[in-house]
Structure 1
Amino acid sequence: MISGGELRKGLIEEGLNETYKCVHCGFCLPTCPTYRATWDETDSPRGRIYLVKALLTGRIQPTESLLEHLDRCVICRRCETACPSGVMYSKIIEAAYAYLGDKLTNYGYPWHVRTGFKLIESPTIIKLALSVSSSLPGIPEHMKGFARSRDEEKLDYVLGRVFKPPVGKPTRGRVLLFVTNSCVAWQSHTHLVYATIRVLVWNGFEVIVPREFKCCGAPYMHMGNFNKALELAKYNIDVLNKYANEYGIDYLVVPDSGGCQAQWLEYEKLLGINIGLRQKIVNTLQLLDKAGLVGELGPVKMRISIQHSCHLMNVAKAHDSVTKIISKIPGLEIKGLETADICCGAGMMYPDRHPDIADRIIRPKVDELIKLKSDALILESVTCKAHWANTLRKYNLNNIKLMYPTELLDLSYMAGTNPGYRDLIKY
């Protein structure tokens, strides 16, 4: 296991090396949400790569203007999939955070936001925050989004339990479910957790839901708090190993949260280990695409559009599996967004930190939804759902439902002839 200091040094060296791969072709520009919003070269991947290279080689100083343009990056990583030279842009922006330390973190994340991150690690404080966030003044809009999209099911009810396939159904594998009550996303979007358990159990998977997991560490990684991200990675890997030794785990399933899944896939790099996580860490529908669906899918008569999760698409590479499974549901009319592969601007409290740019990023998507007359928008990220809950409220579009892919599949199973499906989670 490596130390925090070793990690920072390695990130700076790796990031600087990566800057030299950029050939300035500009293929990344039309894929970048902030460049599309501002049309400013320094708000593009190419522009930021130039700035970081100059910073790391001592040719420029960390002025306020530099900090502003680096902080405006959403870290969606869409540019990586567009780059013909294979530049891993995320390594470059991580190098900037590692080099600048608290200077960039403190610039982009005011003290009350940093304090809030520390406070909401407590399950009790998260519950309290969710119960009052939608009405209290001064609460960040993103937190209000989680409160506004909060589900009724209780996460505590399923934590620490094992759910087995119904009697008579063959067991096709054993999975560990990554959810945690020390994260505001999982405490608010609990219906997704319940839907995931039902769908997996009905498809023959024994589902183990540990109580011990903590935050995946993505928020800390993206804001440059690498020591905390490293601490959480070590802790969660220990939990995974404990259950793997006790039960024998085939997969760790992350329910429709591209950011969490992507962070788990970074653990090997963070910890300097090689334990085959790329093969074990999967999205629910990614696993079902691999294993094949079991049971009857009933009709869901709905016109839907899909907004892909940046990290599910650009890092986990699971978006094709999601679309493939959804397309099997009878009755659906799928109307794709032209910008489904472009970030919606939700990541890392971006709408609170850069509200004007965030609105310019998401507004074309809102216009598309109105034009398509979609009944529901399918999202693959818990953070995106909080942002979209606020956005639909702002534009008086509360008639549009926000759903996860697994919730849609769960709805289809309920509409089909699947006796006992609704009662898989017994209270």
Structure 2
Amino acid sequence: MTSMPLEKSPVSLASGRIVELADQCVQCGLCLPVCPTYALDRNEAESPRGRIAIAAALARRQASPSTTLREHLDHCLGCLNCEKVCPANVQYGELLIETRALLGPAPQRPRQLLNLISRPASMRRLRRVGGWLAFARWKNWLTDVLPTRSAWRTALLTMPSSAPAAPVRASREARGKSPLALFPGCVASVDDAQAQQAAITLLEAAGFQVSVLPAFCCGAMDLHGGAADSAEQAAQRVRQAWTASGATQLISVTPGCLGTLRRALPGVSVIDPLELLATHADRLRFRPLAQRIALHLPCTQINVARSDGALWQLLRRVPELEVMLLPRPPYCCGAAGSHLLEFPERAAQLRDDTLRQAAPLEPQRLLSSNIGCRLHLAVGIDAQGLNWLHQHPLTLLAQQLEPH
């Protein structure tokens, strides 16, 4: 006989929370047209409405977590386009996190690889070794040898061949207690250090002082991958670093980290620096740049950070810059945290669809503020032979900043 969990056990409490969240859904279907995976598959189980029904059935024990049902849940990108159009205000993101935590990490989750890339010091050492071994010369050969579905192949493809920029540093005046603290993160602290330094340059020009927290993973990939214990350990580390900083606001140039940081620090102001810069834009002057750029707005920037309006406001202040917005929704580049590693073929489909939307714009640069999205898009840009420079919007703004 299978024993039932105690009424107030963690499992039953989690199941009850999932059912409560799922019952908010009125099954109207307004989420279907904005869902990237539904657009990809035209399968009800690959839509928010279908996944809510699956989560409710699993929580009520009306279905067992078979490989097929689980895969529909794991395919979700967590873009939250559905939350934005939902008339019943269903907390779909919370439901997805709770359901994945109940099921635990997926079998195909590349744990060793994720463990590596979530450690900035290890990644920097690996990149240095790659430089010594002329990684750029044999990168293509190695990726050709590995299977298309290999997470390691995808990781190698997205790894830049150039050496990473130096870790971000605060100015001497801001090395003590400062009102703003910047969270560097893991991958971003290695491959988006230039954007993080750009944020500090721009914020200081606008009159702010910024200190820098230690570089480590916020736990976003664990949280969204069902590894609840590891995610909580990361959250504890975030809370400790935040308390030690003495700051009043926390900033991150990576929209993908913001939701997880806010979850770890309820009641703390955790924002995209673009918002602060937009409110003090009158203090910033930019040199002209006669170029056409394609602007990719990551799902997290629109639906979590909600800083897309601030970004538009700042880019419009660069004289002669022509900004062309990539169409959305239901377009999503497919990076979605660890999704590009777990489902590389699906992620490549979504990425190529995104680039097809950008191609008619004939841009000279492509801007994207989420490092995972930008590295993923860069693979497609290189594969298609497109001569597009790709960078964080903050990097462009700092490059064009007129010195005081």
Aligned-residue offset at 1:372: 0.9
Aligned-residue offset at 1:354: 2.1
- Among 19, 34, 38, the alignment partner of 1:35 is 38
Amino acid at match of 2:35: C
For residues 354-384 of structure 1, give each alpha carbon's deviation from its aligned partner in whole angstroms, at most 9, with x where no partner exists: 2332233222321222111011111020110
For residues 259-300 of structure 1, give each alpha carbon's deviation from its aligned partner in whole angstroms, at most 9, with x where no partner exists: 1112111114xxxxx4x22xx211111111223341321111
**TM-score, normalised by the number of residues in structure 2:** 0.87
Amino acid at match of 1:402: H
Instruction: Provide the rounded CA distance (Å) in 2 between the counterparts of 1:201 and 1:178.
Output: 16
Amino acid at match of 1:240: W
Q: CA RMSD in A?
A: 2.4
Listed as ranges, the matches of 1:174-185 within 5 Å are 174-180=179-185, 183-185=186-188
Amino acid at match of 2:179: R
Shift in CA distance, 6/177, structure 1 to aligned 2, threshold 3 Å = farther
- Among 111, 127, 130, the alignment partner of 1:114 is 111
Contact 1:175 1:208 in 2 (8 A): yes
Contact 1:216 1:232 in 2 (8 A): yes
1:367 matched to 2:356:
yes
Point out where structure 1 has 5 or more consecutive residues left out of the alignment. 166-172, 269-273, 420-427
- Among 280, 283, 289, the alignment partner of 1:300 is 289
Aligned-residue offset at 1:311: 1.6
Which SS does the other structure have where 2:217 is aligned?
Answer: coil
Which SS does the other structure have where 2:322 is aligned?
Answer: strand
Shift in CA distance, 353/152, structure 1 to aligned 2, threshold 3 Å = closer
Instruction: Provide the rounded CA distance (Å) in 2 between the counterparts of 1:51 and 1:64.
Output: 12
1:412 matched to 2:377:
no
Question: More relative contact order in 1 or in 2 (CA 8 Å, sep 6+)?
Answer: 1
Matched with 1:128 is 125
Listed as ranges, the matches of 1:328-347 within 5 Å are 328-339=317-328, 342-347=331-336
Aligned-residue offset at 1:224: 0.7
- Among 159, 174, 191, the alignment partner of 1:147 is 159
**TM-score, normalised by the number of residues in structure 1:** 0.82
Aligned-residue offset at 1:11: 4.5
Aligned-residue offset at 1:141: 4.2
Contact 1:36 1:361 in 2 (8 A): no
Aligned-residue offset at 1:126: 0.9
Matched with 1:226 is 228
Shift in CA distance, 292/151, structure 1 to aligned 2, threshold 3 Å = farther
1:194 matched to 2:197:
yes
Instruction: Provide the rounded CA distance (Å) in 1 between the counterparts of 2:370 and 2:340.
Output: 15
Instruction: Provide the rounded CA distance (Å) in 1 between the counterparts of 2:378 and 2:281.
Output: 32
Shift in CA distance, 327/9, structure 1 to aligned 2, threshold 3 Å = farther
Amino acid at match of 2:257: C
For residues 153-212 of structure 1, give each alpha carbon's deviation from its aligned partner in whole angstroms, at most 9, with x where no partner exists: 211xx44x44449xxxxxxx73111114xx2332122211221121111111112123x3
Aligned-residue offset at 1:13: 3.0
Aligned-residue offset at 1:117: 2.2
Instruction: Provide the rounded CA distance (Å) in 2 between the counterparts of 1:355 and 1:69.
Output: 15
Aligned-residue offset at 1:409: 1.1
1:98 matched to 2:98:
no
Range with greater deviation from structure 2 (33-42 or 141-150): 141-150
Aligned-residue offset at 1:146: 4.4
Shift in CA distance, 18/10, structure 1 to aligned 2, threshold 3 Å = same
Which SS does the other structure have where 2:317 is aligned?
Answer: coil
Amino acid at match of 2:159: A
Aligned-residue offset at 1:216: 0.9
Which SS does the other structure have where 2:24 is aligned?
Answer: coil
- Among 216, 226, 251, the alignment partner of 1:253 is 251
